Amino acid sequence: MNLLNPGVLWWLLPLGGAIVALYLLRMRRRDLQVPANFLWPERTDEIRANSLFQKLKFSWLMVLQLLALLLIGAALSRPQTEQSGLAGDLTVIVLDASASMSASEGARSRFDLAVRASEQIIADAQPGDKLAMILAGPLPEVVFPLSSDPALQRMKLRDVEGTDAEADVGEALRLAAALAKSDDSAQIILISDGAFEEPENFSPGGASVQFVKVGDAKENLGIEAIGAVQTGEGKNVYVGVRNYGDASQSASLSIHADGDLINSSRFDVKPGETWGRTFPAPANSEVLEARLTDGGALTADDYGVELTGSAAAKQILVVTPGSPFLERVLSLEPGVVVDKSGSVPDREKRSSLGPGQYDIVIFDGVPEEEVKSLGILSFASIGPSSPVSSSGSVKNPTFLSASDHELLDGVDLSGVYIADALRLQLKGSATAAADSDSGPLIVARDGLQRQVVTSFRPGNSDFPLTVAFPIFIANTIEYLAGAAASNVLEVATGQSLALPADEVEVEAPDGTKTTYTGKDGRTVVRGFSRIGPHKVKYAGLEKTVYASLKDPLESSIKPRSDVSLGGSDTEGTEAAIRLMDIWKPLALLALLILAGEWFMFARRS
């Protein structure tokens, strides 16, 4: 039972008290002399005006009036009862396909239960009800658009699959709200275990939001951390396993180096605690994998991977007072770890002793300095070791031509507007990858320390707004990494990867192959949805992309009883429900009681 307007109930007390008070008033009776009163029954059904107080007497009229008041108050509070089925003509189902939804619930997965709940919703729909379904995976996907075709909906539903990735439930809900905004009585039904971050900027508008909770399992172990370190005793790999459940658990951990088992261990871990251990690893190993056995209901977090050596993630330092476009693109780039600083740390300067930490240093809006990194990318920043010199600035240079340099694979600069740029002159072995009518736009220099210089800052152009920008950054990182570039990559499950090819074939760990096609020499592989190594073939190359889930939120599989959606807490239900207004029968009953009360009053008066 739900009350839309519970505040009305506060009025029942004073109003009921007023009715009782009326019956507490003593009747002012008219005296009438009679020959004898022994024939008269002493009936005092007080129904008229009153004066002073008296002892409260039982009266059916009072009972009926209080009952009618109660019913009217209840009707005005807009009570609603929960019934299975759909509430409105338009319903958008958001099906959570995150990693936690692949948790095992007995013989079936949590995702299977969610699909079954979706089937029930489709079955409960009335003819003419419009249903749409959005799969909340790493990227929201419309399973079927708004339609009134249950057969089509069931067919599409059979094809949906869960993922081992974190889902963007917020984006899926925003998309659902956009679909539902055409109907004020629309309903958004989220079928999930509630294991997701509170969606930001989500407003259901006039639609009602319902959270159908699935799953019961809560015991789970997950690989929380895996990292490799080179010590004086050799290469070591550290693995941390966290118990996200409520009970102690035992599990086995096996460590693999480049596919070969090198160690294993059996351990116990208490609830809420992390078990960690360091294992020795072969010095020349590149891919270190950890696999957990008996790791609880969720297997997606039973796998971890760490690339080392040349395969390790590229360490990039961005020296800038602030460059949002650049930082955003770098955060989406797989296989890189990005740090940001306003100036070059002393230990990274070439004048300091010892090795540097970063593979690539990017200067944007800060004068270039001599650093120890393998490569340097400078945006309109000239330093002593730059492959170019500057002879002033130019306004609105126009792109003229591009060489076949690998930096510009899949990058089209035609039409890019540049407000301000430096007029560059090449130095030494530097070559112009792209030219403008005012000189080189992009310059590259090969060597022990590769360098790339652009004559303009991204913020002084619309280059970051074009699809060419992330490709250029990816090409530049790969170019600057040089010999360090590897054929293995590590990504988080669900992460997308843009590759310079018109067609990319991805072979998932289970052997299924998917071919992605792009255009303009660029193809985006949308999400590696399963954990483990994926073989990626493109443009005659083959890379292995290792996907793993490192998300404590997904590993914490205990279903949430309620979730915060659109700024309000939404309580979970076992199945899709609709709230039926029951004020009408209550009002009718109140009317009948008032009619009965009137009839009784008329008979007695």
The token duo for 116 is 């079954």
Q: Is the dihedral of CA 363, 367, 371, 375 positive or negative?
A: positive
CB of 602 to another protein, least distance (A): 9
**What stretches of 186-339 show up as alpha helix (H) in DSSP?**
324-332
Instruction: Based on the shown chain and the rule CB under 8 A, indicate whether residue 30 belongs to the binding site for another protein.
Output: yes
Distance of CA 7 to the CA centre of its chain: 36
Interactions with another protein, residue window 10-29 (CB under 8 A): 27-29
The token duo for 425 is 């002159």
The 407-436 contact track toward another protein, x by CB under 8 A, reads: ------------------------------
CB of 592 to another protein, least distance (A): 22
Label the pairing between strands 90-96 and 187-192.
parallel
Toward another protein, which CB reaches closer, 39 or 483?
39
Choose, by CB under 8 A, the member of 201, 351, 512, 605 that binds another protein.
Answer: 605
Bridge partner residues of 504 (DSSP):
516, 538
CB of 60 to another protein, least distance (A): 12
Task: Please name the amino acid found at residue 36.
Answer: A
Instruction: Based on the shown chain and the rule CB under 8 A, indicate whether residue 448 belongs to the binding site for another protein.
Output: no
CA distance linking residue 121 with residue 602, whole number of Å: 52
CA-based diameter of the chain, in Å? 137
CB of 66 to another protein, least distance (A): 20
| Size of the residue set binding another protein (CB under 8 A) | 25
> Are the C-beta atoms of 204 and 189 separated by less than 8 Å?
no
> Are the C-beta atoms of 593 and 34 separated by less than 8 Å?
no
CB of 8 to another protein, least distance (A): 34
> Are the C-beta atoms of 193 and 215 separated by less than 8 Å?
yes
Toward another protein, which CB reaches closer, 513 or 604?
604
Toward another protein, which CB reaches closer, 32 or 353?
32
Toward another protein, which CB reaches closer, 9 or 47?
47
Choose, by CB under 8 A, the member of 7, 31, 151, 346 that binds another protein.
Answer: 31
Binding segment for another protein among 33-41, 63-71, 196-204, 486-494 (CB under 8 A)? 33-41
Distance of CA 181 to the CA centre of its chain: 21
Q: What is the DSSP letter of 405?
A: -
Choose, by CB under 8 A, the member of 2, 14, 18, 44 that binds another protein.
Answer: 44
Choose, by CB under 8 A, the member of 55, 158, 395, 603 that binds another protein.
Answer: 603
Bridge partner residues of 83 (DSSP):
578
Choose, by CB under 8 A, the member of 9, 12, 20, 45 that binds another protein.
Answer: 45
Burial classification of residue 558, based on how many CB atoms lie within 10 Å of its CB (0-12 exposed, 13-18 middle, 19 or more buried): buried
Interactions with another protein, residue window 48-67 (CB under 8 A): 48
Instruction: Based on the shown chain and the rule CB under 8 A, indicate whether residue 524 belongs to the binding site for another protein.
Output: no
Write phi, then psi, for 298 (nearest 5 degrees).
-105, 125
Choose, by CB under 8 A, the member of 42, 159, 200, 404 that binds another protein.
Answer: 42
Chain residues binding another protein by CB under 8 A are 27-48, 603-605
